[in-house]
């Protein structure tokens, strides 16, 4: 494993512990409906461009009765960024060396009344140190109560960590980022998104505390929404509506998503990178 300093180790440990807690809750939801579905974990490793150990991660995927497909990945990688791509990464323009650790989650649900969701938080080190991430809700059939509760959870997390957590700025950032320009449509009903959150020196502790709060907010609110909607009956037309909406989600992740591009450009595991794609989708 690549060597880690104390901040890198703390961030990695948090992301892995958050993964474990989320997966436990999601598996319990499956148990509650009589399903024995469980996460299957696949470790992977990478070799850096220099031929040295480049770190790796674990891909976790569950396919069940409630979660048609949910992936929860953690990774810790490092090495050197290649060519022009490296110049696009914050702080790597003059020095291509980097470190990144994070968690990435995408859930595609079996019932169209239960919203799909994305959550990702990460810690990156180049010549600068910063956190980034966020979460957004993607309902094929939106419910105002679900949208309001999701946003309220992240507003509370932001407000508790102000001024580092800036809900108005981060929620607008999510609206701008989670948008599909070629369709002229939002990917979902928003959430929060932030990037390049300063974690240099004394800024590390408040930035890390806020990032932990984002993970806790997700864990607190999303399972509630799932349980609220998972038993609702749905029609064939509503299922087709969900599958068409998934097509839009796939388009965003393949064309615009920064995490997808970063993973591909840094030699990550292809199955882990494309974990976000739905098991079924249609284009009409």
Report the Cα 92 to chain-centroid distance in Å.
23
| Rg of the chain in Å (alpha carbons) | 18
3/24 Cα distance (integer angstroms)? 29
Say whether 82 sits in a helix, a strand or coil.
coil
263/268 Cα distance (integer angstroms)? 5
**First-to-final CA distance of the chain:** 46
151 an active-site residue? no
165/215 Cα distance (integer angstroms)? 13
Catalytic pick from 118, 151, 161, 182?
118
128/200 Cα distance (integer angstroms)? 7
Other Cβ atoms closer than 10 A to 253: 20
Other Cβ atoms closer than 10 A to 247: 16
Contact 149, 224 (CB under 8 A): yes
Say whether 178 sits in a helix, a strand or coil.
coil
Which residues in the chain belong to E strands, given as ranges? 40-47, 53-62, 67-80, 97-109, 116-125, 129-138, 179-180, 185-186, 191-198
Q: What is the dihedral of CA 246, 248, 251, 257, to 10 degrees?
A: -90
Catalytic residues: 118
């Amino acid at each position: 494993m690549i060597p880690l300093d104390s901040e890198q180790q703390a961030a990695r440990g948090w992301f892995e512990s958050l993964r474990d807690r989320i997966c436990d809750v999601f598996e319990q939801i499956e148990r509650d409906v009589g399903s024995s579905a469980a996460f299957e974990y696949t470790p992977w490793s990478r070799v850096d461009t220099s031929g040295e150990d480049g770190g790796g991660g674990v891909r976790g995927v569950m396919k069940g009765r409630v979660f048609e497909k949910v992936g929860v990945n953690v990774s810790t990688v490092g090495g050197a960024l290649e060519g022009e791509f490296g110049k696009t990464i914050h702080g790597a323009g003059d020095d291509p060396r980097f470190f990144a650790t994070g968690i990435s989650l995408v859930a595609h649900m079996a019932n169209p009344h239960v919203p799909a969701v994305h959550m990702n938080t990460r810690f990156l080190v180049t010549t600068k140190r910063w956190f980034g991430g966020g979460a957004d809700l993607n309902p094929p059939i939106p419910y105002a109560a679900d949208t309001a509760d999701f946003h309220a959870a992240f507003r509370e997390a932001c407000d508790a960590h102000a001024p580092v957590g800036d809900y108005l700025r981060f929620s607008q950032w999510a609206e701008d980022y989670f948008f599909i320009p070629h369709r002229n449509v939002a990917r979902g009903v928003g959430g929060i998104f932030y990037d390049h959150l300063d974690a240099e020196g004394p800024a590390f502790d408040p930035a890390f505390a806020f990032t932990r709060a984002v993970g806790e907010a997700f864990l607190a609110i999303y399972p509630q929404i799932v349980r609220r909607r998972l038993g609702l009956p749905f029609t064939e037309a509503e299922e087709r509506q969900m599958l068409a909406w998934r097509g839009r989600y796939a388009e965003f992740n393949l064309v615009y998503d920064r995490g997808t591009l970063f993973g591909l450009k840094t030699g990550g595991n292809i199955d882990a990178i494309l974990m976000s794609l739905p098991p079924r989708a249609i284009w009409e």
